[in-house]
Amino acid sequence: MRAVRYYGASDIRLEHDIPVPICDAHQVMIRPSFCGICGSDLHLYCTADALPFNDAPHPITGETWPVTLGHEFSGDIVEVGSQVRKDLQVGDRVAVQPTICCKQCVSCKEGFTNCCDSFGFVGVMGWGGGLSDRVCIDAQFVFKLPETMPSEIGALIEPLAVAWHAVEQSVPKPGANILIVGAGPIGLAILQCLKAFETAQIIVAEVAQNRGDLALQFGATTVIDAMNEDVVSRCKMLCDDQGPEIAFDCAGVAASIKSACLSVRSRGTVVNVAKWDKEIPFNPDDLLIGEKRLISALSYTTTDFEQVMKALGNGSMDVEKMITRTITMDRVVEDGILALLHEKDRDIKILVDVRR
């Protein structure tokens, strides 16, 4: 079968002779339909350090490079294991929670699989991935799509679950003012998720005009030009000289986390959603003064997946405009990864049509 395989930095290949996986009793075999290209895929392409198990196998999958890519995907069930629950049948369209976890550590037993000691993703750390003709997934991480939900939208559930988890972590109260720093795919996904909560206003700080315009289309109350405006003073002006109750840093640069910390009101909350490429200078006094909180949000749990599907089903979120382009398997690098690296302000979410 075909699969897009990762061999190291700048070395991603479409191969045509990968063996079809065997479906275990607790798994379903899926024929992927659509798969999103994620920021983590860009990190993998740029640096081998982003996937540090070339020499030592991943502790759960036992795999080293090469691995099949693709962790944001939907597809059709083509085989069902003998011990799989009866509501999953051949022909069902599904979304996949690509969680790899040990199921034995304290975090897993408490239901926080995203904090597993050996946490990972299908499509990054092994066990195949969505950029292939077939993949086998533990049935507990497979979600049947409603008949009215297109498979393209099903491929967005994974990144939306990341955003939903971040919003849930922040515990937004009705009438809260919110700041989102960075209107990339996750920032815009958080904006979409916040529409399901009764917030007062959603302020977005963004350096790129195109993404700022998209944020307005997606429902932002105000967009601050972070390149030419003072984010902190503008936030205070917009929020009765107090600042927003919650700020999400989705940009992952020193200036963004500082703006988030200084913008929130006293006893406000800063949520770090971004993945950081390197250490940065950080002054804890930016939080100490005003007794502000800094929390983090990593990935998602099964509950987040379920809540996203519910919100999509009842119309609380409208995410179709997040899909800005669809490409084919043989153009993943050229039209997907390189396009996002060199023209990052042009696209939000590029999907790969795996069927073609």
Q: What are the residue boundaries of the structural domains of the chain, listed by start?
A: 3-156+319-353, 160-296
The fold adopted by the segment(s) 3-156+319-353 is Quinone Oxidoreductase; Chain A, domain 1 (3.90.180)
Is the peptide bond preceding residue 66 cis, with omega within 30 degrees of 0? yes
- The whole model's pTM is what? 0.96
Q: What is the number of other CB atoms lying within 10 angstroms of the CB of residue 71?
A: 26
In this predicted structure, what is the pLDDT of residue 346?
85
**CA–CA gap between residue 107 and residue 209 (Å, rounded):** 41
CB 260 within 8 A of CB 290: no
Per-residue pLDDT of the chain (356 residues; tens, 9 = 90+): 999 999 999 999 999 999 999 999 999 999 999 999 999 999 999 987 767 677 789 999 999 999 999 999 999 999 999 999 999 999 999 999 999 999 999 999 999 999 999 999 999 999 999 999 999 999 999 999 999 999 999 999 999 999 999 999 999 999 999 999 999 999 999 999 998 888 989 999 999 999 999 999 999 999 999 999 999 999 999 999 999 999 999 999 999 999 999 999 999 999 999 988 889 999 999 999 999 999 999 999 999 999 999 999 998 898 999 999 999 999 999 999 999 999 878 899 999 999 99
Mapped onto helix, strand or coil, the DSSP state of residue 17 is: coil
Does CATH number 3.40.50.720 belong to domain 160-296? Answer: yes
Mapped onto helix, strand or coil, the DSSP state of residue 105 is: coil
Q: Which of 78, 70, 76 is nearest to 122 (CA)?
A: 70
CB 115 within 8 A of CB 107: yes
β-pair type (349-353, 27-36): antiparallel
Region label for 273, one of left (φ > 0), alpha (ψ between -120 and 50) or beta (otherwise) = alpha
CA dihedral for 286, 291, 292, 296, sign (positive or negative) = positive
In this predicted structure, what is the pLDDT of residue 345?
81
Domains 3-156+319-353 and 160-296 are alike in CATH topology: no
